[in-house]
Amino acid sequence: MKHATFDPTSVCALMPMGLIYDDDGIIQFVGPTLGKLRRADTLIGKTISEVFSVRDNGRGTGDGPVPLSTKLYLNFTSGISTPLKGMAIAIDGANLNILNLSFGISILDAVADYRLTSGDFAHTDLAIEMLYLVEAKSAVLEETKQLNARLQGAKVAAEEQAYTDTLTGLKNRRAMDYVLDRMLRGGVHFALMHLDLDYFKSVNDTLGHAAGDTVLQRVAKILLEETRGDDLVARVGGDEFVLVFNKFVDHDRLMRTASRIISRLEEPIPYQDTVCRISGSIGITTTEFYASPSADKMIHDADLALYGSKHEGRAQATLYDPDRHDGGMPEAQIAPSKR
C-alpha cells in the first residue's frame, strides 16, 4: 500500500495532543492542544530530545530517537515539566513518525496550568469524564469529612459526659471503674482513698439542697487541689468520693495527704449569710497489700478502713490493715484526730 499524500492536519484533529517528527527526530507538526502547552512555532524545527526527556520500559523498537510501539513517559525539559504518557509509531515510507501524548495523572494540574477546555480533548478521550469524577468525588469527600468531624466531636462530648458528674465536674463511678480497670491491667501501683463526708446530711437538712450543692462543689475544688493531674477524683455517691493516687503508695505520705484533706474540709464554707461546717472520714488501701489486686477487693477494703474511721469518731483517716480489718471488727484509727 502506498501513501499518496499524508495530511498532518487531519491526523492531529484525531490526536490534538499529537506531534509529527521526521526520522532525524525533528518536529514537523504539532497538534492544537499540545500547541497550548508550548507554542507550536517554538517546537517545530527542534528535536524531540531537546523538548522532552523520554523514558520507556526498555522494550521499544526502531533506531530513531524515540522507541516505537511502546509506552513512553515524557517530561518537558524546560518550563513546567508536566509528566505525559505517550506512544510513537512510524508512518511507512513517509520518513515521518507520529507521537501521540496524553496527560495521565497530571491532568488536573495541566487543566489548571494551561487553561484547557473540553474542546481541547479528543472526542474519544475520557479526560472530561475523569475530571467530572474527580470533581464529584471531591465534593462528596468534603461532605463526608465534615460529617466525620461532627460525629467525632459529638462522640467525644458524649463520652466526656458519660464519665462526668455534672454537679461537681468530677469523674463519676463509671469513669472510676474504667480507670481502675486500666491501671490494674497495666500493673500500675496506686492508692485508693474512700472519702465519706461527715455532717453533710445536717447541712442539707438545715440549709437546703442548694447549700448542699455549694458544699459539694467546694469539696470537689479542694480534692482537685490536693491531687495531681494524673490522679483520679470521682464522686461515687451523694457525699462519697473515691481518690486514686497514681504511683503513690507511701503510707506516711498518704496519711498526711488524708489529714490535710480533712483539715481543709473542716474550714467553714460560706453560704449566703451563714457558713456550712462539715468534715470527712477516709479509708485508704494500696495495691501493695495484694498479690493480685482487684478493684472490688480494694474498694471493699477501703470501705472497711473508712468504717474504722467512722467507728472511731469520724474526721479521721484509717489505713487498711489486712490483719485487723479482715478479722471483722475494725480497730483503732491511725491518724490523730483533729477534733
Q: Which residues does the annotation mark as catalytic?
A: 239
Give whichever of 182 and 201 is closer to other proteins, judged by the CB atom: 182
Binding of residue 162 to other proteins (CB under 8 A): no
What DSSP state is assigned to residue 47?
B
Binding of residue 58 to other proteins (CB under 8 A): yes
Per-residue x/- mask for other proteins, residues 255 to 284, rule CB under 8 A?
------------------------------
Give the whole-angstrom CA distance, residue 242 versus residue 220: 11
- Helices (DSSP H) in the chain: which residue ranges? 8-14, 34-37, 40-43, 48-51, 107-113, 127-162, 173-185, 200-207, 209-225, 251-265, 295-311, 322-325
Binding of residue 152 to other proteins (CB under 8 A): yes
Give the whole-angstrom CA distance, residue 15 versus residue 100: 7
Give whichever of 24 and 230 is closer to other proteins, judged by the CB atom: 230
- Minimal distance in Å, beta carbon 56 to other proteins? 9
Interface positions, 90-119, toward other proteins (CB under 8 A): 104-106, 108
- Minimal distance in Å, beta carbon 209 to other proteins? 36
Interface positions, 116-145, toward other proteins (CB under 8 A): 134, 137-138, 141, 144-145
The residue within the footprint of other proteins, chosen from 186, 187, 229, 336 (CB under 8 A), is 186
Give whichever of 106 and 246 is closer to other proteins, judged by the CB atom: 106
Give whichever of 116 and 220 is closer to other proteins, judged by the CB atom: 116
What does each C-alpha distance from 214 to 19, 201, 338 come to in angstroms? 85, 13, 24
The residue within the footprint of other proteins, chosen from 42, 49, 57, 274 (CB under 8 A), is 57
Binding of residue 69 to other proteins (CB under 8 A): no
Give whichever of 13 and 130 is closer to other proteins, judged by the CB atom: 130
The residue within the footprint of other proteins, chosen from 73, 76, 289, 290 (CB under 8 A), is 73
Q: Grid coordinates representing 319?
A: 489505713
Give the whole-angstrom CA distance, residue 331 versus residue 329: 6
Give whichever of 58 and 119 is closer to other proteins, judged by the CB atom: 58
Give the whole-angstrom CA distance, residue 339 versus residue 235: 25
Selection from 60, 73, 68 nearest residue 91 by Cα: 68
Ordered DSSP codes for 178-245: HHHHHHHHTT--EEEEEEEEESHHHHHHHH-HHHHHHHHHHHHHHHHHTS-TTSEEEE-SSSEEEEEE
Give whichever of 144 and 294 is closer to other proteins, judged by the CB atom: 144
The residue within the footprint of other proteins, chosen from 5, 119, 129, 185 (CB under 8 A), is 185
- Minimal distance in Å, beta carbon 105 to other proteins? 4
- Minimal distance in Å, beta carbon 109 to other proteins? 9
- Minimal distance in Å, beta carbon 136 to other proteins? 12
Give the whole-angstrom CA distance, residue 95 versus residue 265: 101
Selection from 256, 243, 248, 216 nearest residue 302 by Cα: 243
Binding of residue 336 to other proteins (CB under 8 A): no
Q: Grid coordinates representing 171?
A: 469523674
- Minimal distance in Å, beta carbon 279 to other proteins? 37
Binding of residue 247 to other proteins (CB under 8 A): no
Give the whole-angstrom CA distance, residue 45 versus residue 25: 9
Angle, in degrees to the nearest 10, between helices 173-185 and 295-311:
120
Binding of residue 182 to other proteins (CB under 8 A): yes
Binding site for other proteins (CB under 8 A): 57-59, 71, 73, 83, 104-106, 108, 134, 137-138, 141, 144-145, 148, 152, 182, 185-186
